Structures are given as structure tokens and as C-alpha cells.
Amino acid sequence: MSTLRNMRQNLPVIAPIVALVVLILIGIALNPNFLSYANITNVLARSAFIGIIAIGMTFVITAGGLDLSVGSMAAFVAGLMILVMNLLTDSMGQGLPVILIGIALALGVGILAGFINGILITRAGIEAFILTLGTMGIYRSLVTWLADGGTLSLGYEMREMYRPVYYGGIMGISWPIIVFAALAILGEITMRHTAFGRHCAAIGSNEKVARYSSVSVTRVKLATYVLLGLLVGIAVVMYVPRLGSASATTGLLWELEAIAAVIIGGTLLKGGFGRVWGTVVGVLILSLIGNLLNLTDVVSPYLNGAIQGVVIILAVVLQRNTGTAR
């Protein structure tokens, strides 16, 4: 009896893994190419951008916040990065320094954008949903303006030079996958085993208790937004070499996919409990659904969004009535 009860209590814990395993089994059954090296690396590399952002989103949501601006922020950072790199190529010529400056710029602007979100939420006391809804519109509009309504493209030679950051790798594993995996491990350790992670959960659980326990609430909350901004920057650094361009539609709906992955992974939307490994599983589930629909013709790929929607709703239903301490 106790094992049965344990299993029922653990259902929210293991449900994302079960779902992932089921998806993989369905994939194997439907298409022999599913487990092929090419397909797996393709799925993982494409998940990496949203995955990296979702890791940061896990901390923000765990601490009781939310950030809707990340997709637009990614597009804006990418656009700015390309614009500056093209300008620098004109004055400095092609070469590694231009790429390094571009990367530094992307990370710096990401951190700054996260800082702006965070400082306005924590110091000016603006509701996270409203504020990031606002900055989402601002960044989206800024990138459209930078691209003059069209597309910003990196110069051909620079693109060739930068390409390996997405397409290259070591031992047959491409860089985005390696970076995603490393950040996921780092994120999981930070969430579970450091004071910062514990403070995030405490603040999300009850901000007043955290404050009375001498946790510096504003600093920790600000740090979650800055961290997310930095991760958006890293995602952009991996994303730009893939297509070498940015436009008004870059990163569209990434924020919702990232939030969905966090929730499917078992992090509570109202804050107080988060797990990075769950988010990674959530990201994989969402991209595998799309991949499966593309590989088979049982269900139309146009229904991708519908199936993802059902998964998100199921995840939230499973989150309810969890009684034990987390």
C-alpha cells in the first residue's frame, strides 16, 4: 500500500519524465529515423535557444515573478548585435575581434535589459506581468525599427566565420547542445544546493517570511531578472550564427514556449518551488511533439500547437493537490 501511495504522491514529480519517455517510445514506433543521430541532434540543437532562456525563466518564476519580454528581448539583442557587427566590419575589417565584440555586446545588452526589467519591478513596484508586457512591446518595436521593417543580415564573410558556433562542436556534439547541457547542470545545482536557489523558493513561497528571515528580497529578485537577461544574451550568441539574420519575427512566442516548458517541468507558476531539470524535460517534450508531427503523417503538423496546449493544461492539472513539503 505504501508504495502505491508513494507513487501517487510522486506523480507530479515523475509525470514529466513519464511523458517524455512515452513520447520517445511513440517516436520509435512511428518512425525508425526518430532515434537517428541526425534527428536527435537536430531536435536538441533547436531546443537549446528556448532551453537556455527557460533555465533563467525557472528562477524568475520560482521567485514569484514572470518575464514576458524574453522573446522580443532576444530579437532586439540579435538585431543590435548584427547591426553593430556589420558596422564594425566596415571600420575594423573582418576578423575575430568583431565576433568577440558582438558576443560581448549581446551578453552586455542582455544583462542590461534584464536589469531594467528587474529594477522597475523591485524598486518601482510595478507588477511583473504588466511591466514585461510593456518591455515586450518596446523591444519588438525597436527591432522592427532597427531592421526598418525588413531583415537585418550579417555580412556574408562574417557569417561564414561565425557559423561554427552553431554548426560546429566537439565529438560530434554541437556547441548549442553543449552550452545548454552545461547551463542546465549549473542551473540545477544553483537551484537545489545554493543559498540563492533556496532564497528564490522562499521568496516565491512567501515574500514576507523571506524578508523577516533577513533574506535580501529585492536583491535576489533583481538577480533573477539579470540572470535571465544574461541567458537571453547567451541564447542569442548561439542563435545568430544559425541564420545570420534577425527580423521582426525573430524569437516570436519564445517567451510563452519558455514559460510553458517551465510549468510542464513542475515549477509552480505562483512561485515557491522550481526545478531546472524539470524545465529541461519540459523543453524536450515541447520540441519532441513538433518533431514527431513532422516525422509522421498520422496527425497534421498544423496541430502542433493544439497538442502542446493539451500537454500544458495536463501539466497544470497534475500540479494541483500536492500536499507534502517540497
Partner 1 sequence: MTDPVLALDGVTKSFGPIEILHGVDFALRPGEVHALIGENGAGKSTTMKILAGYLDPTGGQVKLDGKPIGFSGSDQAEDLGVIMIHQEFNLAEHLSVDQNVFLGRELTKGWRLDHKSMRQRTADLLKRLHCKVDPGARVSGISVPDKQMVEIAKALSRKARVLIMDEPTAVLTERETEILFEQVERLRAEGVAILYTSHKLGEVKRIADRVTVLRDGTMVRSDLTADVTEDDMAAAMVGRELSDLFPPKLTGSDEPILTARNITVPGIVDDASLTLHKGEVLGIGGLVGSGRTELAEAIAGLRPRSGTVTLMDRDLPAGDVAQAMKAGLAYLTEDRKGAGLLLDKSLRENLTLPLLETFGSPLIERKREDAALDRAIEDFAIRAPARDMAVGDLSGGNQQKLLLAKTLLSNPQVVIIDEPTRGIDIGTKQQIYTLIAKLAAEGRSIIVISSEMPELIGLASRVVVMHAGRIAGELAGADVTEGGIVRLAMGMDGTSKDSAA
Residues at the contact surface with partner 1, assessed by CB under 8 A: 189, 193-195, 198-199, 201-202, 205-206, 208-216, 272-273, 323-326
Q: How far is residue 257's CA from residue 54's CA, in Å, rounded to a whole number? A: 8
Tell the smallest beta-carbon distance from residue 278 to partner 1 (Å): 17
Q: Are 62 and 276 in contact (CB under 8 A)?
A: no
DSSP for 262-307, please give it. HHHTT--TTSS---HHHHHHHHHHHHHHHHHHHH-SSS-GGGHHHH
36/213 with CB nearer partner 1: 213
- The cell 518512425 sits on which residue? 31
Q: What is the DSSP letter of 1?
A: -
Q: Which is nearer to partner 1, 159 or 198 (CB)?
A: 198
Nearer to partner 1 (CB atom), residue 233 or residue 272: 272
Nearest approach, Cβ of residue 315 and partner 1 (Å): 19
Task: Show Cβ contacts of residue 96 under 8 Å, excluding neighbours closer than 6 positions.
Answer: 161
Compute the least distance from the CB of residue 250 to partner 1, in Å. Answer: 35
Pairwise CA distance, residues 49 & 40, whole Å = 16
Q: How far is it, in rounded angstroms, from Cα 326 to Cα 322? A: 9
Smallest gap, in angstroms, from Cβ of residue 8 to partner 1? 13
Q: Which of 252, 251, 313, 260 is nearest to 283 (CA)?
A: 260
Shortest Å distance, C-beta 216 to partner 1: 7
CB nearer partner 1, residue 91 or residue 214:
214
Residue 169, H or E segment: strand 169-170
Angstrom distance (rounded) from CA 146 to CA 159: 19
Q: Which is nearer to partner 1, 65 or 272 (CB)?
A: 272
Helix, strand, or coil (residue 249): coil
For residues 198 and 242, which CB has a smaller minimum distance to partner 1 in the complex?
Answer: 198
From residue 324, give the alpha-carbon distance in Å to each of 5, 133, 198: 12, 34, 17
37 Cβ contact partners less than 8 Å away, ≥ 6 residues apart: 172
Q: Toward partner 1, which CB reaches closer, 163 or 198?
A: 198
| Of residues 105 and 200, the one with the C-beta less far from partner 1 | 200
Nearest approach, Cβ of residue 13 and partner 1 (Å): 13
Distance in Å, CB of 53 to partner 1, minimum: 23
Kindly state the smallest distance separating residue 133's Cβ from partner 1, in Å: 22
| Measured torsion, CA atoms of residues 269, 309, 9, 62, in degrees rounded to the nearest 10 | -20
Point out which residues pair with 88 in neighbouring strands: none
